[in-house]
Amino acid sequence: MNSSESSAVASDLTWFKSSYSGAEGGQCVEAAADTGVVYIRDSKAVAGPIIRVSHETWAGFVRKA
């Protein structure tokens, strides 16, 4: 996914910030779900790169966290 693709994808999604981020923001990620895919980005660099994983991969990550 290149940066122009990332920007287009990011604008069409509803992003959710990690519940661990706290009031000051700090070190956190945002995630957005789409059909068959979960997108993940750094909440401090929303125009930066986006990681794309399957729902199964995301569920496995959340179980391990």
Contact in structure between 30 and 39 (CB atoms under 8 Å) = no
Q: pLDDT (tens digit, 9 = 90+) per residue, 21-50?
A: 666 656 688 899 998 899 998 888 888 889
More confident position, 38 or 9: 38
Q: What's the number of domains the chain is made of?
A: 1
Q: What is the pLDDT of residue 59?
A: 93
How far apart CA 26 and CA 59 sit, in angstroms, is: 24
| Domain residue limits at 48 | 3-64
Q: What is the pLDDT of residue 60?
A: 93
User: Per the confidence metrics, is the pTM higher than 0.85?
Assistant: no
In one-letter notation, the amino acid at residue 39 is Y
SS3 5: helix
Contact in structure between 31 and 39 (CB atoms under 8 Å) = yes
How far apart CA 50 and CA 65 sit, in angstroms, is: 20
Give me the residues paired with residue 41 across strands: 30, 50
